Structures are given as structure tokens and as C-alpha cells.
Amino acid sequence: MTDDKTQPPVDQEVAKELDGVPEEMLDNSEANGDGVEDELARLREELETVKQEALYARAETQNVRRRLEKDIADARNYSATSFAREILSVSDNLARALSAIPADQREDEKMKNIVTGIEATNREIDKVFTNHGITRIAAMGLPLDPNQHQAMIEVPSADAEPGTVVQELQAGYMIKDRLLRPAMVAVAKKPD
């Protein structure tokens, strides 16, 4: 005789659900009731931890993507910065060349052609600067702004308020919203 008659028949659906459950958990179900509840609580806690980690990972991924997009935009907007700094000296030299030609010599036919050529080149540089978002910083008559101006000397002046720019020694430039080169200026101070 077999013991099949002593064991109650097992529903096949229940058997499927119990498949894979450790044998020790099935043996004494009343005694292990607390163990199952503890295991269930531990699994719920672990699930919450995994959910939080997934949320943090998603947030970090979004932050990395935003930083990357900003870096790409900055690279596009400011890629010409070092080149522009070098070209500023060319622009400065053209301005110095124009200012070095005395007014009485500008009427001479040969000098007139040179002046016209230098002015045309200077206009072309200004056009290229404008196309790339490079603008000249206003300085004359404005209060000294340490974010845009670099004070080189103080000049006694009864006409201007102390701290006002009275002379521009070298033009300053911005590239979009960033400082490319500060304007080197002379600032008014009270006369002695």
C-alpha cells in the first residue's frame, strides 16, 4: 500500500505557485508564518531601496545629459575665443596705424589710399567680430566696472566724478556674455 491515501490531494494551481518555494518554508507553515512575513517585509524594503536607487540613477543621467548639452552649447558659442583674442591685437595695430598718420598727411594721394585700405580692413574685422558675437565694451564716461574694465592709472580730474573712466588705453571686448578682454582705462580721481 502506498501513502497516497494519507496525503490530501494537491490542487495543481497551488502546486504551481509553490513550485520554487524552499522546502523548509512549506514544511511547518504555522511555525514559519512569522518567517514568511519577515521575508516579505525584507523583500519590500529591498524593493523600495532598488526603486530609490533607480530614481537617483535616472536623475543623475538627466543631470549628465544637461551638463553635456551645456558643454556642447558653450563649445559652439565660445570656440573662437582664443582665436578672437589673437585677432584683437591685429585690430589694435590697425587702429594704432590710423592714429599714427598725422591729419595733414592724410590728404596726400598715397597716404589717402593707405588710410582707406586700413579703414576698410578695420571695418571688415569689426564685421567678422559682429558675426561671431564679439562686441566692444563701452568705457568712456562710465563708472569703473571691475568686471569689464581694468584700471591702469588714476588721473586727477575736476571735470569727472572720482572712479569714472576718462581715457581708454586699450579697447575691451565681450564674446557673447563672457569677457574676452577687459578695457584698459584711466580713471578719474580728485585733484590734489
For residues 119 and 106, what is the distance between their CA atoms, to the nearest angstrom?
12
Domain identity same for 61 and 91: no
| Mean pLDDT value across residues 90-105 | 89
Dmax over CA atoms of the chain, in Å, equals 133
d(CA 65, CA 52): 20
- Please check whether residue 146 is in contact with residue 174, taking contact to mean a CB–CB distance below 8 angstroms: no
Q: How far apart are CA 39 and CA 127, in angstroms?
A: 74
Q: Are 120 and 166 within one domain?
A: no
Whole domain around residue 44: which residue ranges?
Answer: 22-79
Convert the pLDDT of each residue in 21-68 to its tens digit: 555 555 554 455 678 888 999 999 999 999 999 999 999 999 999 999
Both 144 and 178 in one domain: the answer is yes
Q: pLDDT confidence of 1, banded at 50, 70, 90?
A: very low
User: Is 44 part of any domain?
Assistant: yes
Contact 129, 173 (CB under 8 A): yes
The candidate with the shortest Cα–Cα distance to 134, out of 172, 97, 101, 105, is 172
Residue position matching grid coordinates 578672437: 84
Among residues 57, 79, 101, which one ends one of the domains? 79
- Rounded to an integer, the average pLDDT of 88-95 is 91
Instruction: Clarify whether residues 36 and 65 are in a common domain.
Output: yes
pLDDT of residue 26: 52
How far is residue 29's CA from residue 123's CA, in Å, rounded to a whole number? Answer: 92
